[in-house]
């Protein structure tokens, strides 16, 4: 899947997309989900992909995660790391306890049992669920399950985190606190010299302005990059701060214009 890119400078990128095209179906029925999307994400950068429904945001993440193959162009992940992927649903294994869920990627990587135990405890502490290792996923709330999913993804020890509307199904209060958690965790990793690159898909512009270093707007059918903006607001941020609101307003205007284009 890793076709070489020709873009200069992309060798240092954590994730480099060059003219990525994805077509579903053939002939007259073919649907172009992504049309020559190029994007370089720097190590430790937090990029939010924003777009209306059907813009191929999730397709893009699947491609980067290697769960699907490109129709054209190339994707390169720095150091050939395998990115971790989080979904809107926690996708926890209901037959395992919380701790055992987090342990799965560690087992698959072949870590010895003693190391696994310590690492699971550490990861659950990171998401403030240290006391819940023996619980079952169904005993937890939606927000807690999503934190377990985050811990499980982090257990991959990957430098690249792909998040597909991970907080989309949560209530506003829980979502706010998870934004804080994610920002704290990401800032901590970057400060510790083990940068965490995040590619975060959402249709919630406020959420993007709250979290991102850079917001990338995708058009719908076919998905193309139509706008990019840096979010120069100091961290830690608050979702209700005027600076975040101003960025969100700007992006919302662009998004409205794009959606309006489809109405004619």
Partner 1 sequence: MATDQLAADTISGLDALEIASQQKVPGRGSRIWAATWPKLTALALALLAWQVVVWSGWKPEYALPGPVTVAKDLRAYATSGALWDGLLTTGQRAAIGFGAAVAVGLLLGLAVARVKVLRAALGSMITALQTMPSIAWFPLAILLFQLSEQAIFFVVVLGAAPSIANGVIHGVDYVPPLLLRAGRNLGARGLNLYRYVIAPAALPAIVAGLKQGWAFAWRSLMAGELLVVIAKSTSIGVQLTYARELSDAPRVISVMIVILVLGLLVDLLFTKADRAIRRRWGLLDRG
Please give the residue ranges that form the binding site for partner 1 (CB under 8 A): 65, 67, 82, 84-85, 87, 89, 91, 93-96, 104-105, 107-109, 128, 136-144, 152-153, 155-156, 173-174, 177, 180-181, 184, 236
Q: How far apart are alpha carbons 78 and 40 in whole angstroms?
A: 11
Q: Which is nearer to partner 1, 28 or 173 (CB)?
A: 173
Widest Cα–Cα separation across the chain: 62
Q: How far apart are alpha carbons 10 and 75 in whole angstroms?
A: 10
Give the burial class of 126: count Cβ atoms within 10 A of its Cβ; 0-12 exposed, 13-18 middle, 19 or more buried. Answer: middle
Closest distance to partner 1 from the beta carbon of 9 (Å): 28
Closest distance to partner 1 from the beta carbon of 104 (Å): 6
Q: Which is nearer to partner 1, 240 or 253 (CB)?
A: 240
Contact assessment for residue 207 and residue 35, using Cβ atoms and an 8 Å cutoff? no
Q: Which is nearer to partner 1, 122 or 181 (CB)?
A: 181
Q: How far apart are alpha carbons 121 and 98 in whole angstroms?
A: 11
Q: Which is nearer to partner 1, 105 or 222 (CB)?
A: 105
Contact assessment for residue 171 and residue 94, using Cβ atoms and an 8 Å cutoff? no
Closest distance to partner 1 from the beta carbon of 95 (Å): 4
User: Residue 167: enclosing H or E segment and its boundaries?
Assistant: none
Q: Which is nearer to partner 1, 5 or 153 (CB)?
A: 153
Q: Which is nearer to partner 1, 34 or 85 (CB)?
A: 85
Residue whose C-alpha is closest to residue 217's, from 261, 186, 173: 261
Closest distance to partner 1 from the beta carbon of 175 (Å): 11
Give the burial class of 70: count Cβ atoms within 10 A of its Cβ; 0-12 exposed, 13-18 middle, 19 or more buried. Answer: buried
Give the burial class of 153: count Cβ atoms within 10 A of its Cβ; 0-12 exposed, 13-18 middle, 19 or more buried. Answer: buried
Closest distance to partner 1 from the beta carbon of 67 (Å): 6
Q: Which is nearer to partner 1, 67 or 191 (CB)?
A: 67
Closest distance to partner 1 from the beta carbon of 237 (Å): 13
Closest distance to partner 1 from the beta carbon of 89 (Å): 6
Q: How far is CA 194 from CA 85, 225, 235, 243, 256, in A?
A: 18, 29, 19, 28, 38
């Amino acid at each position: 899947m890793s076709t070489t890119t020709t873009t200069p400078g992309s060798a240092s990128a954590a994730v480099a997309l060059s003219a990525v095209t994805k077509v579903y179906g053939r002939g007259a029925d073919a649907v172009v989900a992504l049309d020559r999307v190029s994007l370089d994400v720097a190590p430790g950068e937090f990029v939010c992909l924003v777009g209306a429904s059907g813009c191929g945001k999730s397709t893009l993440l699947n491609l980067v995660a290697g769960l699907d193959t490109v129709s054209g162009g190339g994707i390169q992940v720095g150091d050939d790391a395998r990115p971790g992927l989080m979904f809107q649903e926690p996708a926890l294994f209901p037959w395992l306890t919380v701790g055992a869920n987090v342990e799965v990627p560690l087992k698959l990587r072949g870590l010895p049992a003693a190391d696994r135990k310590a690492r699971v405890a550490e990861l659950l502490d990171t998401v403030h669920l240290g006391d819940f290792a023996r619980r079952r996923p169904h005993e937890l709330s939606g927000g807690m399950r999503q934190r377990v999913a985050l811990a499980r993804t982090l257990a991959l020890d990957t430098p690249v985190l792909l998040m597909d509307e991970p907080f989309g199904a949560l209530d506003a209060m829980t979502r706010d606190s998870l934004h804080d958690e994610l920002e704290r965790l990401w800032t901590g990793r970057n400060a510790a010299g083990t940068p965490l690159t995040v590619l975060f898909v959402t249709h919630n512009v406020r959420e993007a302005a709250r979290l991102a270093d850079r917001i990338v707007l995708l058009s719908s059918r076919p998905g193309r990059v139509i706008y990019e903006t840096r979010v120069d607001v100091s961290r830690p941020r608050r979702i209700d701060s005027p600076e975040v609101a101003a960025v969100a307003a700007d992006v919302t205007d662009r998004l409205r214009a794009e959606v309006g284009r489809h109405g004619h």
